[in-house]
């Protein structure tokens, strides 16, 4: 265990996978924030922060046993998803004149990397002074994606107890990469039922509207005058699974989620151009009811490999993919 004036870091054995593969759990603690991360799926299993009354509560939806994560795969509880987060329409894309056929795991489309994405892998772990770095290798052809991809995700706690997630990836052949973390947040407490009614603000004046299969149409539609407008904070209702085009905030928060009852506030800063707001209306798996948590997934846009007008997700040999998202915690 490393204990510094910063983050206390420790690891322990967790329950193994059904096939006996060992899984470990890493605990990071700094100030009032405690975060637990699994090597299975790079899952954020737990985030605990205090409320206005000083009581520390669990605000991330997590499961108690790794076999629960094997059983309830659909919600992607707390996992890092990839090689391509969100959807690729038609389960294929063309890169440098060559079409790549992917595993289709949502109708005719590919979702969150296919049948065995990064959420179903056991990652290697390396201790850091303020957290843990998890890494894996995705071989050329896995789920149909080209190139041997080396990926790492660093979870650390900043001085103020914010959870910083730093992604890196390199490849030996042209490929596409889009990584995110799929934590569901309920600032009233993970056992508190529905998260609807939390107040949400998003620094986003546009969305990428989608068709009936949740594939972007290619348009960038203004939110003004629609139910998608969260530029001014307001209570969140159901029915959102939407990619927002983030405004340039010069490194400031792009999202803020507030629970008036507990006083807890979650802020999101990111280097990514988009954020998927998902109200988990179809959750209902495991111990959680629909809308029990709110996902704020920082990302590049869905189906970008088939949309040259969207920000590129192409990664080539000699380049390095980097991305940072910071989840900050405070009180109001």
Catalytic residue positions, numbered:
182, 297
3-state class (DSSP) for residue 67: helix
Q: In 3-state terms, the chain is what percent helix, strand and coil (to 5)? A: 5, 40, 50
Q: How many CB atoms lie within 10 A of CB 173?
A: 15
- Residue 13 is inside which H or E element, if any? strand 8-13
CA 301 to CA 308: how far, in whole Å? 11
Q: Which residues contact 154 (CB under 8 A, 6 or more apart)?
A: 128, 131, 132, 133, 134, 164, 165, 166, 168
Q: Which residues contact 257 (CB under 8 A, 6 or more apart)?
A: 185, 187, 198, 199, 200, 236, 265, 266, 267, 294, 296
240 closest CA partner among 203, 300, 283, 271: 283
154 closest CA partner among 275, 267, 299, 323: 323
CA-CA-CA-CA torsion for 190, 274, 30, 160, nearest 10 degrees? Answer: -120
CA 224 to CA 205: how far, in whole Å? 7
267 closest CA partner among 219, 208, 331: 331
């Amino acid at each position: 265990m490393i204990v510094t004036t910063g983050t206390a870091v420790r690891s322990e054995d967790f329950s193994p996978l059904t096939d006996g593969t060992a899984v470990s759990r890493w605990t990071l603690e700094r100030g009032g924030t405690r975060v637990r991360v699994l090597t299975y799926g790079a899952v954020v299993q737990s985030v605990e922060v205090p409320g206005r009354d000083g009581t520390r509560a669990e605000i991330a939806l997590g499961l108690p046993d790794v076999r629960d994560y094997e059983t309830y795969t659909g919600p992607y509880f707390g996992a890092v998803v990839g090689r391509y987060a969100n959807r690729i329409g038609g389960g294929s894309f063309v890169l440098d004149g060559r079409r790549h056929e992917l595993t289709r795991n949502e109708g005719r489309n590919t979702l969150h990397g296919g049948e065995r994405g990064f959420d179903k892998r056991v990652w290697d772990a390396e201790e850091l002074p303020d957290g843990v770095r998890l890494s894996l290798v995705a071989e050329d052809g896995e789920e149909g994606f080209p190139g041997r991809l080396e990926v790492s995700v660093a979870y650390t706690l900043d001085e103020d107890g914010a959870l910083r997630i730093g992604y890196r990836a390199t490849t030996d052949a042209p490929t596409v990469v889009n990584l995110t973390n799929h934590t569901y947040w309920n600032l009233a407490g993970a056992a508190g039922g529905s998260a609807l009614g939390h107040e949400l603000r998003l620094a986003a004046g546009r969305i990428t509207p989608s068709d009936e299969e949740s594939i972007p149409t290619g348009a960038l539609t203004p939110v003004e005058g629609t139910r998608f407008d969260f530029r001014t904070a307001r209570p969140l209702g159901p029915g959102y699974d939407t990619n927002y085009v983030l405004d340039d905030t010069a490194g400031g928060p792009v999202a803020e989620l507030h629970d008036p009852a507990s006083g807890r506030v979650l802020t999101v800063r990111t280097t990514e151009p988009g954020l998927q707001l998902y109200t988990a209306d179809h959750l209902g798996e495991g111990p959680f009811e629909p809308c029990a948590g709110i996902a704020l997934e920082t990302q590049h846009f869905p189906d970008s490999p088939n949309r040259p007008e969207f920000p590129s997700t192409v990664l080539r040999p000699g380049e390095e993919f980097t991305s940072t998202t910071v989840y900050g915690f405070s009180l109001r």
